[in-house]
Structure 1
Amino acid sequence: MKQTKKYRYQMKFRSVSILCSLFFVLFAQGQDLQTYINEAISNSPEIQKFQFQYEIAAEKVNEANWLPNTEVSAGYFVSEPETRTGPQRARLSLRQMIPWFGTITARENYSTSMAEAQFEELVIAKRKLIVSVSQSYYNLMANKAKQDVLEQNIQLLQTYERLALTSVEVGKASAVSVLRLQIRQNELQQSKDILEQQFLGEHATFNNLMNRESDLKVEVVSDLSIPFENEMISEENLNVHPELTKYDKLYESISQSELLNQKESNPMLGFGLDYIPVSERTDMNPIDNGKDVLMPMVTLTIPIFNKRYKSVTKQNQLKQQELYSQKEERLNTLSTMLSKAIFERKAARISYDTQLKNLKQAEDAEEILIKNYETGTIDFNDVLDIQELQLKFQINRIESVKMYYIQSTIINYLTL
């Protein structure tokens, strides 16, 4: 029991350490995300499910400390058998079987190993929840930023529309230019309306992850930037990822299962006591006349014709080989995921830097157009082209930021 409590304490400490590490990496995105992650872990029914499963598995350590039921039997002789000391009236029996030495300890070790394997499932579930909450948060952040950009561009087009109307009045532009600006505003408004609906859908998804009312407000940060340098990635940590150590724990549980199987294949000892009350003889008075019988007994069960234990040993060997293959397969999958996430995050940074350069050049072009308006030579077709390019670069920049942080959550999931 003390070992179980110590194990639980160690596992909880390890869980807190892992989560704190994840929070530290995500702290750059603001206190809000960390708060949401804490709330999601506390409220998630899935996490609670795995927590209960772990507690059940840990409690099985106490269950393992058991002995077979004590057998008590009683019988009454309808026809009393006659003996030298008198007729026997009844028989009372008491039996207790005891497993071979070390069997109970082997059971406890097996249950402990199963609890450790189940705890890895809990850690994995928490990590996956952190990824889901973070990625949904970044989707909301990007969506909100796109809406803001579209609103800014709509207002900019309204300004250009007023300039175009002024130019039409003085004969320096045609009404077609005004109509094209209005059509462009309608298109941007349509895109903004669609984004608002997508935001509501993602908003509901986020609140469901938090296990709360779907209409509760979600605050997202407005800082759309990425760090100047990527944090160091320790790919060696991938080898101790819970999705892989889970197989190590399962492998160990099978080893403990085999030790238990070997113990159970040994004989079982049994101790008992029979008590037979005897009536006195009336026809004569022999020595020990009417003396009751008390007979201690020892039982030994020997599994001579039982192939079950050999079969279980073979099954355990095959299970361990299967787990080894599963671990190798999962390691390859996680390695591929990590490599892809690293490359895509680098690509997101490259795209981000490129969009910043393009935006600067588009702003320079816009300034030139404004100066041309002052001289009366503005071409509103060029205005629309530059505005469209600016919007494209702004949207691409937002997508780059979102992709950077989404890939970072995958990297954190795999390496922290």
Structure 2
Amino acid sequence: MKRIIFILIGLLTVSFSSAQELETLIEEALLNNPEIQKFELQYNIASEKVNEVNTLPNTEIGVGYFVSEPETRTGAQRFKVSAKQMLPWFGNITARENYISSLADAKYEDIVIAKRKLLASVCQSYYNLYANRAKQAVLTENIKLLDTYETLALTSVEVGKASAVDVLRLQMRQNELSQLKQVLEQQYLAEQTNLNKLLNRDKNVVVDIMNEMNIPLEEVEITSENLSLHPELLKYDKLYQSVEKSELLNQKESSPMVGFGLDYINVEKRPDMNFNDNGKDIIMPMVSLSIPIFNRKYKSQTKQNELQQQEITAQKQQRLNTLETLLDKAINDKISARISYTTQAKNLKQAKDAEEILIKSYETGTIDFNDVLDIQELQLKFQINQIESVKTYYLQNTIINYLTK
């Protein structure tokens, strides 16, 4: 769990209260998410298989009855009982246990990967909810602003300084923003359901979202050194080791097997004779040796293991290249989000300055409501873009933490 805690610290880069809420959601997801439970059960099954292979071959027991009793000097043989136990060569069972344990170790990395992905999914869903809520707040603010402009327009119509068309255009713009807000409300419910299901709880549970999130003033240095220790790559290392264990097992299985047995033959006494060994039963200990003379199977398995190791090495390199590409893209997108955020902040300030100029123009009786709508539309655009920049920043930060923490 230490590794998970480190990831949490990296992911929770927002304000303290938001971090507390997000950390609570993540902890609940780790406890309740069924996919995590699925991988944990798969790991437990793989671990239990160690006990399955720690066994000897079945003991062979046979019983035979002589239909035609063979006569011997000491009497007629009536029935035969035999028992035989084959034993693998020294170290065979240990090699089998080591191989199964190595497969279980590789399965464990699936749990770590699934937890990392779950953390990222919870954070991404949380940030999507924040962006949606922030957009709704912006739309509400702009609808109220348009309502104020509508009042000004109605007053101007009364004094002949504006036309009814200006009022209608303002009302249509209000209707459009109301529609956008209603759509966002439905999208919010869908995203809230997604987050609740990641936590394996009722979809209608209300998620507490921060009202405001900002991009930090200073950036944390990002290093790709830890990328080589990513569990997706460590899994390939463990798969490679499992193939090595498989080859050791293959070598052991190509060794002979030794068998020990015992035959018991019941002999009936001869009624017409009297001597010391009359009717004496036969007990015959046996030792057998199973030698794999035709060992092409094991040579083929060795070749397959070599090829499989080459395949795993190639897969690991390909995945490393993909992760490096994802990391570079996330870093660049994060930088772009910061640039966009700064630009939108400047544009938003200028739009507000233009709005103030228009309001002053109303006082002099020269307001143009077409300009009002244009400025309002620009202002809304800048606000939405700024929210998107914040969301993009934290989404990319989540990807970076998934790859490097």
Report TM bin, short chain: over 0.9
- The equivalent residue for 1:57 is 46
Looking at structure 2, the residues matched to 56 and 268 of structure 1 have their Cα atoms a distance apart, in angstroms, of 29
Moved more, 84-93 or 340-349: 84-93
5 Å-filtered alignment, 1:255-270, equals 255-270=244-259
1:393 Cα deviation after fit: 0.8
CA distance in 1, matches of 2:109, 2:167: 63
Task: Decide whether the 8 Å contact of 1:142 with 1:402 is kept in 2.
Answer: yes
Query: Hey, what's the Cα distance between the residues in 2 that align with 1:19 and 1:379?
Result: 58
1:27 aligned to 2:12? yes
Matched, 1:302 2:287: no
Aligned to 1:278, the other structure's residue is in SS state strand
The answer to whether residue 218 in structure 2 is matched with residue 229 in structure 1 is yes
> Higher mean Cα deviation, 331-340 or 187-196?
187-196
Aligned match for 1:153, one of 142, 148, 161: 142
* Cα deviation, residue 404, structure 1: 0.6
Correspondence for 1:3: none
Q: How does 1:6-25 map to 2 (within 5 A)?
A: 16-25=1-10
Deviations 1:115-156 (A, max 9, x none): 011111111112112222221221111111101100000001
Cα distance in 2, alignment partners of residues 237 and 404 from structure 1: 21
Secondary structure of the residue aligned to 2:55 is coil
Counterpart CA distance in 2 for 1:105 and 1:312 is 19
- In structure 2, stretches of 5+ residues that fail to align are none
Residue 182 of structure 1 deviates from its aligned partner by 1.6
Q: CA deviation at 1:200?
A: 2.3
Counterpart of 2:71 in 1: which secondary structure? coil
The CA distance in 1 between the partners of 2:279 and 2:186, in whole Å, is 97
Question: Greater CA deviation, 406-415 or 195-204?
Answer: 195-204
Structure 2 residue matching 1:239: 3-state secondary structure: helix
Which of 328, 335, 339 matches 1:339? 328
Give the structure-2-normalised TM-score: 0.95
Q: What are the equivalent positions in structure 2 for 1:112-261 lying under 5 Å apart?
A: 112-261=101-250
Per the TM alignment, residue 100 of structure 1 is displaced from its structure 2 partner at its CA by: 0.4
Which deviates more, 296-305 or 221-230? 221-230
Matched, 1:84 2:103: no
How far off its partner does 1:278 sit? 2.3
Shift of the alpha carbon at 1:316? 0.9
Contact (CA 8 Å) 1:43, 1:210: kept in 2 or not? yes
Give the aligned residue type for 2:190. Answer: G
Structure 1 residue 277: Cα displacement: 2.4
SS in 2 for 1:89: strand
User: What is the CA-CA distance between 1:39 and the residue it aligns to?
Assistant: 1.9
- RMSD, aligned α-carbons: 1.6
Give 1:134's aligned amino acid: C
- Aligned equivalent of 1:273: 262
Query: Which residue is equivalent to 1:41?
Result: 30
Does the Cα contact within 8 Å between 1:61 and 1:108 map onto a contact in 2?
Answer: yes
Letter in 2 for 1:329: Q
Asked whether the equivalents of residues 278 and 291 of structure 1 are also in contact (C-alpha less than 8 Å), the reply is yes
Report how far residue 285 of structure 1 moved: 3.1
Equivalent in the alignment of 1:291: 280
Name the CA distance, whole Å, in 2 between partners of 1:54 and 1:232.
Answer: 35
CA separation in 2, counterparts of 1:90 and 1:155? Answer: 104
1:380 is matched with which residue?
A: 369
Match of 1:350 in 2: 339
Counterpart check, 1:69 vs 2:54: no
> Is 1:77–1:90's contact at 8 Å kept on the other side of the alignment?
yes
Q: Hey, what does 1:392 align to over in structure 2?
A: 381
Distance in 2 between residues matched to 1:171 and 1:283, nearest whole Å: 146
Question: When the two structures are aligned, how many residues end up with a matched partner?
Answer: 401
Q: What amino acid sits opposite 1:137 in the alignment?
A: Y
Code of the residue aligned with 1:37 in structure 2: it is I
CA offsets 1:353-407 (integer angstroms, 9 cap, x no match)? 1111111222222222223333333332222222111111100000001101111
User: In 1, Cα distance between the equivalents of 2:72 and 2:320?
Assistant: 76
CA displacement, residues 81-128 of structure 1 (integer Å, 9 cap, x when unaligned)? 222222222211111100000000001100110001111111111211
Residue identity opposite 1:173 in structure 2: A
- Per the alignment, residue 302 of structure 2 pairs with 313
Please tell me the residue identity of whatever aligns with 1:266: S
Bigger shift: 256-265 or 21-30?
21-30
The one-character-per-residue Cα deviations of 1:167-216 (angstroms, maximum 9, x if unpaired) are: 22233333332222222212211211221222222222222322222222
Identity %: 66
Query: Quick check: 2:243–2:308 contact (8 Å CA) kept in 1?
Result: yes
Q: Secondary structure at the match of 1:87?
A: strand
Aligned residue number for residue 371 of structure 1: 360
Letter paired with 2:9:
F
CA contact (8 A) 1:85 1:287 kept: no
CA distance in 2, matches of 1:326, 1:286: 79
Amino acid at match of 1:227: P
Unaligned runs of 5+ in 1: 1-15
> Is 1:107–2:92 an aligned residue pair?
no
* 1:368 partner SS: helix
- Greater shift, 118-127 or 151-160, is seen at 118-127
Cα separation, 2, equivalents of 1:233 and 1:84: 92
